[in-house]
Amino acid sequence: MHNKSVAELSRALEQGTVSSVELTRQFLDRIRCEDGKYNSFITVTEDQALADARAADEQRANGNATPWTGVPFAHKDIFCTRGVRTTCGSKMLENFVPPYDATVTANFRKAGAVCLGKTNMDEFAMGSSNESSYFGPVTNPWGAKRVPGGSSGGSAAAVAARLVPAATATDTGGSIRQPAALCGVTGLKPTYGRVSRYGMIAFASSLDQGGTMARTAEDNALMLNVMAGFDPKDSTCVDRGVPDYTATLDEPLKGLKIGLPKEYFSEQLSPAMEQQVRDAVKEYEKLGATVKEVSLPHANLAIAAYYVIAPAEASANLSRFDGVRYGYRCEDPKDLMDLYTRTRAEGFGNEVERRILVGTYALSAGYFDAYYLKAQKVRRLIQQDFINAFREVDVLMSPTSPSPAFVQGEKSTDPVTMYLEDVFTIAVNLAGVPAMSVPAGFIDGLPVGLQIIGDYFSEARLLNAAHQFQQVTDWHQREPN
């Protein structure tokens, strides 16, 4: 059963060939036996999951089931779960038990899905390797000592290792797509504002977006059906109808116009990675798509703009962790200043501290115009690049990451080296458009992801394109041993 997709498990539950309690026990057993190798979970909620599974079985028996009723899954530990500790990968929130549910959490609860626990992540979602988690690094199921990517590395590893069929994730600069690529699973970052951010612990509020991770595009569509939608509790959430994302998966791709941004196929791209991506694009041509080169002229400025905007917003968001209202507090503070400064020094890890300091610097008197305002202007240029490209083509394709999973420790000594890991993913967040990563091959036994970028609110088209690719390839079905 652990190799089945969400869609298949949902059908099995509907047909009564398995109960939610049986399924939940099987997946919990797998987590107990296997996760010692991966560390993909921070918290496993065994009792709660079994209680929810029993309730789901009753609901099915009463005939009011949704496709998710009784299906096991996991939440990235950034989504607040009422009564279940939510750490965001940080010592600061090691014992934080939220008194409320994130909207995404509430949506899955309403749909009857069974949450098995909370997945590991880079601290406050700041990282591309899952090495900055206070709860220890996650190991990629495809290679001992290899990183799973980050920041949603726990979700990606858990799905790849078949510990859960699906997991929620978030993406501020690539945190869904890059780990999905490195772990050989399928992930979607929706349009900014498509999914509510309420109760999703904030990193950079104008970039953060909750999204989906599973092995198939179809399962990503099933997840987005539950997650997308307007929420009055998030002032940047978009009030716009939500289609049934599974309804258009089977549409033919004939006439789909694919653009290849020439800036993403420069001489810095390794020949092996370029080959994998071009092979994937050839499959699309066989499916009736046409391909042309396009340009994103300001792509080379995306990382620089991001590393002003994201830390600036993070420095403001993370000012709430003051040791007063919730979370960690230092021992025996001698005065209020000591309480603040020591609580934050002891509660935050190195990467989080660096980003808060960079952001504070960029926003401080005398530097605001040169850094923050300049970065926001460049952000508009980057957005305009995408608007122009989507006048010519329907989707853009590129590698998701510059290389497959790297070895733990390889990039963690120099922050800037780690930042370059997101060179193909960051511009998407600055523009706010949706994008996916789809398994598209292997280099030296390690998975490679194809990034598919779409225009605003084109999630259905992206999922359709990914699903059709998965009808003619089996990269997404490969299993790590």
Partner 1 sequence: MTISRKDIEKVAVLARIQVDDAQVSALEKDLGNILDLVDQLSAADTESVEPLAHPLDAVQRLRPDEVTETDQRAEFQAIAPATENGLYLVPRVIE
In our burial notation (b when 16+ CB lie closer than 10 A, e otherwise), range 26-39 reads ebbebbeebbeebb
**Is 175 a residue of the active site?**
yes
What number of other Cβ atoms are within 10 A of residue 389's Cβ?
Answer: 20
Which of 151, 155, 315, 401 is flagged as catalytic?
A: 151
Asked if 322 touches partner 1 (CB under 8 A), the answer is: yes
Cβ-based nearer residue to partner 1, 145 or 377: 377
> Which tokens belong to 398?
């590129």
Q: Which whole-number Å values give the CA distances from 250 to 253, 354, 356, 460, 470, in the listed order? A: 9, 46, 45, 11, 11
Asked if 375 touches partner 1 (CB under 8 A), the answer is: yes
Cβ-based nearer residue to partner 1, 16 or 83: 83
How far apart CA 129 and CA 124 sit, in angstroms, is 13
- To the nearest whole angstrom, how small is the minimum distance from the Cβ of residue 224 to partner 1? 18
Q: Beta partners for 82?
A: none
How far apart CA 130 and CA 145 sit, in angstroms, is 12
- To the nearest whole angstrom, how small is the minimum distance from the Cβ of residue 345 to partner 1? 4
Q: Beta partners for 257?
A: 290
Asked if 295 touches partner 1 (CB under 8 A), the answer is: no
Cβ-based nearer residue to partner 1, 284 or 371: 371
Q: Which whole-number Å values give the CA distances from 316 to 158, 193, 258, 365, in the listed order? A: 32, 20, 39, 15
Binders in 33-92 for partner 1, by CB under 8 A:
none
Which 3 state secondary structure label does DSSP give 305? helix
Which of 5, 10, 40, 76 is flagged as catalytic?
A: 76
> Residue type at 57?
D
Which of 132, 175, 196, 437 is flagged as catalytic?
A: 175
Q: Which stretch binds partner 1 (CB under 8 A): 107-115, 214-222, 273-281, 298-306?
A: 298-306
x/- contact string, 189-208, with partner 1 (CB under 8 A)?
---xx------------x--
Asked if 265 touches partner 1 (CB under 8 A), the answer is: no
Maximum pairwise Cα distance, the chain: 70
**Is 76 a residue of the active site?**
yes
Looking at 61, 144, 247, 373, which residue binds partner 1 (CB under 8 A)?
373
Asked if 290 touches partner 1 (CB under 8 A), the answer is: no
Residue of 378, 361, 319, 315 lying closest to 343 (CA atoms): 319
x/- contact string, 329-348, with partner 1 (CB under 8 A)?
x---xxxxxxxxxx-xx--x
Asked if 379 touches partner 1 (CB under 8 A), the answer is: yes
How far apart CA 280 and CA 269 sit, in angstroms, is 16
**Cα–chain center distance at 461:** 19
How far apart CA 338 and CA 315 sit, in angstroms, is 19
Binders in 90-119 for partner 1, by CB under 8 A:
96-97, 99
Helix (H) or strand (E) holding 282: helix 271-286
Known catalytic residues are 76, 151, 175
Rule CB under 8 A: which residues touch partner 1?
A: 96-97, 99, 192-193, 206, 232, 235-236, 238, 298, 300-301, 303-305, 307-308, 315, 319, 322-327, 329, 333-342, 344-345, 348, 353-354, 356-358, 360-362, 364, 370-371, 373-381, 383, 414-416, 419, 430-433, 456
